[in-house]
Amino acid sequence: MAVSTKLSLNFYKADDKTMNLSYKYARQDPSNANIKALMEGIVTNGTIFKKVPVSLKSAQIITTETTEVDLS
């Protein structure tokens, strides 16, 4: 059995539409403060993105569990 974790960050753009950034292989237990600091840093340096994030919307830690099936 394998467990994988993805961090999904959601932002608002200037036109009030949503922008999503996802990062595979995230830590399974990041603190809320660390996630918020990461998101604020992305907004602060947002001009590096084609779609510029302007404010925080939400964040999720998505955990997926995979079980191998023995086909023999």
Q: Is the pLDDT of residue 8 over 80?
A: yes
**pLDDT tens by residue, 14-58:** 999 999 999 998 888 889 999 999 999 999 999 998 989 999 999
CA-closest candidate to residue 35, choices 46, 45, 47, 23: 23
The pLDDT-based confidence of 3 (bands split at 50, 70, 90) is confident
For 27-65, letters b (16+ CB in 10 Å) and e give: eeeeeeeebeeebeebeeebeeeeeebeebeebeeeeee
